[in-house]
Structures are given as structure tokens and as C-alpha cells.
Chains A and B, each alone.
Chain A
Amino acid sequence: MAAIAEAIAAPKSVSPTIQRFKDALRRHPTAIAGAIVLVLMMLVAIFAAWLGTIDPQALSPIRRLRPMSEEHWFGTDMLGRDVYSRVIYGTRVSLTVGLAVALLATTIGLAIGLVTGYLRWLDAVVMRVMDGLMSIPSVLLAIALISLTRASLENVIIAIAIAEVPRVVRLVRSLVLTLREQPYVEAAIASGTRLPAILMRHILPNTLAPLLVQATYIWASAMITEAILSFIGAGTPPNIPSWGNIMAEARSLIQVAPTILLFPGLFLSLTVLSVNLLGDGLRDALDPRLARRI
């Protein structure tokens, strides 16, 4: 009885969507844990310079391969650089690439998907091109693109984003195909609304929730791809300390100094995990149908 009374007394101002969102988050503590870790990592990235770090590129040949100590928390690498500082600064690279790729890929994919999903004559051509791009495994596609250009952080972001676009286009297109059969879209067409207005006002808002979930997963996979590219020497240039670069340089040191491999690997995995957990939580909150399935 008390519960019913409470429900009646509850303020009407909270929209059902926000309430459902809150409930889902309460039911998914892992998503909250993911969000907390992610925020922590972002703070680490922003305040990297104030976290007891020194210049991550500072060479110190007499202090090569020092073990973990008070002075060098994670030890030093082959060139005497402080591994702790390098790992902390690496957070910046990873999060920047992840976020930038997620934004870029979803924006481009959304634009292409909206238009092709709506214009039948364009659809066949664009989807064949997307099918073609999707049949090139995304790591290879990014490698092929990067090999054309100078290694730089921007080029890494662009290459990974291009490799992710086809999947976004697919998602948006399939959403648009269902949405445009909806009565309210037909009503808009019947009342003479022009195409750009239909796309922007009636179709676009309804694609945003699934797109947000997809963007989170792209964020996570982009961080992995960046690390892979850097690790094999086709990614972030070596003068920027990224987790993949640190691990690539320590490749031969697994028997001598395994901690140089351990810490960047740990940070990378933890960050990707937090984004994935957040994504799972968002998916459950925004798309209850899919949540029960996977």
C-alpha cells in the first residue's frame, strides 16, 4: 500500500524515460562501476601532469631498466624513461582516440545511413560499397589506410573511424527502413513536410538511442585497434607515449622486465572494460528488448 501511495505522490516532472534509465542503472551495478572507472581514467588523462609524473620522454641512460621503486613506481624502460609517467600520459592518447573515433564514425555513419535509408535509388549503390568495405577486416583496413600516410594521431583516428563507418551505416539504415513505415512519418509526408525536415525532425531523434549504444562499443573497440596498430608499429608515432607503443618497445623484455608490459596492458584492459560495461548498461537501459536476448 505504501508503495502505491508513494507512486501516486511521486512528482510528475520526472519523465518515464529518465525514470526507466535510473531504474536500469540501479539494476546494473556493473554499468555504474564502469562509469566510475571511466571518469577516473578521464581525470587521470586530464590531470596527468599533476599526478607525480615527470616528462614521459625524458631519457636517463644511467637508469635503464630499474625495477619498481619509490622513485619509479612502475620502474624504468630500456632508455631509462619513467614507465609510470608514460602509462599515465598514455591514458590521454587512448581516451582521445576512442572518443574521437566514436564521434567521427557515428556522425559520418549517421549522415550516410539517414540519406541512403531514405532514398531507395542511392541505397543499392551505397550498401554495396559498405558491404565491400565490411568484408575487409577492420584492423587490416586501418593498416592499409595508415600505410598511405604519415603516422600521426589524426591519421590514426581517421583510419580507424573509416573502418568503423560501414557498421554504423548498416545500423542507421536498418533503423530508418523501419521508422519510415511508421504512421507518424507517413502523416508527415502526407501533410507535405519536406524531406530534410522529415529526416531531421521525425527520423533522426529515434535513431539516437541505439546509436549511443553503438558509439560506446565503437569507443571501446577503437581503443583496442589503436593499441594494436601502435603495437605493430603502424599507429601512434613513437614519440607519443601510447599504451600500444610502450608495450611494443618492451616486447623483447618479457623475461627481464615484465612489469613494463603489465601496467600499460592493465590500464588498457581496465579502460576498455569500463567502456564496455557502460555500453552494456546503456543497451539494457535504452533497448530492453535486446537486453533480454544477449
Chain B
Amino acid sequence: MLRYALKRLLATIPVMAIVALFVFSLLYLSPGDPAAVIAGDIATEEDIAKIRAQLGLDQPYLVRFGSWLGDLARGDLGVSIFTQLPVSTLIGQRIEPTLALTLCTLIVAVGLAVPLGVLAAARAGGWIDRIVMAVSVLGFSVPVFVIAYGLIFTFSVWLEWLPVQGYRSITEGFVPFIRHMILPSLALGVVYMALIARITRATMLDVLSQDYVRTATAKGLAPGTVLVRHALKNAAVPIVTIIGIGIALLIGGVVVTETVFAIPGLGRLTVDAILRRDYPIIQGVTLLFSAVYVLVNLLVDLSYSLFDPRIRY
């Protein structure tokens, strides 16, 4: 197991190297001269050239990539052009709301989608199945911000049950935190739920037609037990896989959801950085999100043996 884990971890290195090379190339190609920005308005050509040499900006591409990787290894993601603060500091300040939002969404989405997918498969062709499938097609088609405004209009403007927007840290109390999280997590979770429910249903349909499920039913086990202990457990690997892959949808959606609900997280940081053309921030966030995505899917890979004892490493 440990050897396999190590092997898989090593296999992520080329992938992350490609990501790093891509992100660095963006920085390399980005218009504007950081040296000129640092030097200020009254600097002469010579001053700028001196700063360029100091920063190593006059070095060739691969040398700069090397030193950038070295900085990265020390956790240095560069300095924001607009605020002059280290990107790692800015990310650190904004990470909590994003983490809270994605975790809430993950819990809501998986908690609703898996049971719905199981039910849809258990009663294939029935009305639950039809509704789940119809809603999942809709979920793929209605963009996250349209859902978000629909929810805001219904529950905040019209019914006035929940706040329109904003974020409360969990340290300010659990109830305000949850009240501010319900709508964003639902809006963000819809596509993700649609995806998980579909795959759950499809895999469960496959598993339910297996002989051992018929045997379990024939020997008189309760339908619920058969469904969960025999069928769901055997359908777990594809379901967990899609939960991991779907994280990409969540990350893309976070940027939009945080904008709609005015949540001061990493998504909002990215949007502000786009508007100000603050490249180091865009690159830092891209790198971080990609690393998280790769890591989550590595963990998903390693979790297979928990669900399926036939998979041993």
C-alpha cells in the first residue's frame, strides 16, 4: 500500500511540472514590465534596467523558470502588482471562506446526490427516477449564477428567509455562518449533484443486475440492506471517482458563486485580480487550485482499496 501510494505520488510530479511550466509561461508572457512598475514613474531607462538585472528578469526563460521553481519550493508565489503584498499572504487571508464554502457544498451535494441516485436506480423507471434524471439534465444546463440569482430572489428578496449575500466566519457563531452558507452551497452544488446522481444511478443499475444482489434478495435480506451493504458498497469506486473529478466543477463554480454572494474568498480574489490584471495572483490561485485538484484525485485513487478489498496494492 505504502509503495503504491509513493508510486502514485511520484506520478503526480510530471503532471504538476506541466502545470507549473504552464503557469510560469503565463507569467513570462504576461504584458507589462514588473521592473517598470517597481521603479515608478520618474525612473530612467538605466534604473529600470538595473532593477531588471536585480530581479533576474534579464535572464533566459529556463533560468528564470528554475529560480521561480526554487521560490515556489520555499512557498514564495511572488508579489501582487496592485497591493505589493506577497501572493501567499493574500491567499492565506482569503482561504477560509472558500474552504468553508467548498466543504459545505461537498457535504450537501454528496449527502443529497448519492441517496437520490440510489433511490432512482432502485426504482428505475418510476417517478423518483424520472424526477432525478430530469433535474440532473436541468442541473447541467442552468449555469451556477442563474441558479444563484433564482435562489436569492426566492429565498432572500421574496420570502426574506435568508440573507441576500455576505459571509460570516464560523467563529462569529454557527447559526449566522450556516444562514449565509445555505444559498451559496446549494447554488454551487447543483451541477455537482447532477453529476454525482447520474453516475450513482448508472453504476447502481449495473450492480443491481449482478447475481450476488439477486442472491442477497433471494435469501430474504431487507431491501435496504441489499441496497446499501451489497449494491452501494460495490458501486462505490466509480461514485468516489466522479466525486473527485467533479471537484474541478466546484473550483470553477467557486469563482462565480463568491462573486454573486459577495464572499471574500479565493474566487473573489481571482476576479479582482482579473479586473486589475494582477498576474501573480491569477497564477498563484491557478497553481493552488490545480494542486488541490491533483491531490484530491490522488486520495480518491488511494481510497479504492477501502471500498473494494479486491484492489490491493
Contact = CB atoms under 8 A, between A and B. Distances in A.
B48 interface: no
Contacts of A272: 140-143
A136 B297 CA distance: 13
Given A147-B30, A255-B164, A265-B146, A132 B15 contact: yes
Contacts of B80: none
Interface in A126-148: 128-129, 131-133, 135-141, 143-148
A247 B149 CA distance: 10
Contacts of B202: 293-294
B239 to A, nearest CB: 13
B153 A276 contact: no
A228 B256 contact: yes
Given A135-B15, A280-B137, A255 B255 contact: no
Contacts, number: 149
Contacts of B14: 128, 131-132
A138 B255 CA distance: 12
A168 interface: no
Dominant secondary structure at the B interface: helix
A148 B255 contact: no
Given A147-B274, A148-B29, A231-B259, A136 B143 contact: no
Interface residues of B, number: 58
B153 A132 contact: no
B297 to A, nearest CB: 8
Given A135-B294, A147-B30, A231 B22 contact: no
Interface string A283-294: 000000000011
Nearest to B268: A232
Contacts of B274: 143, 146-147, 232-234
Contact of B206 (A135, A145, A232, A293): A293
Interface residues of A, number: 43
20 contacts: A131-B15, A132-B16, A132-B22, A137-B251, A137-B293, A138-B248, A140-B270, A144-B26, A144-B283, A147-B277, A147-B279, A232-B256, A232-B274, A234-B271, A251-B260, A254-B153, A254-B157, A261-B149, A265-B149, A265-B150
Return the 8 tightest CB-CB contacts between A and B, nearest first.
A132-B18, A139-B252, A273-B141, A265-B146, A137-B248, A137-B251, A272-B141, A269-B142
Given A131-B18, A135-B15, A277-B137, 18 more contacts: A135-B293, A136-B293, A137-B251, A137-B293, A139-B256, A143-B286, A147-B26, A147-B273, A232-B259, A233-B274, A247-B149, A251-B260, A254-B152, A261-B153, A265-B146, A265-B149, A273-B138, A293-B205
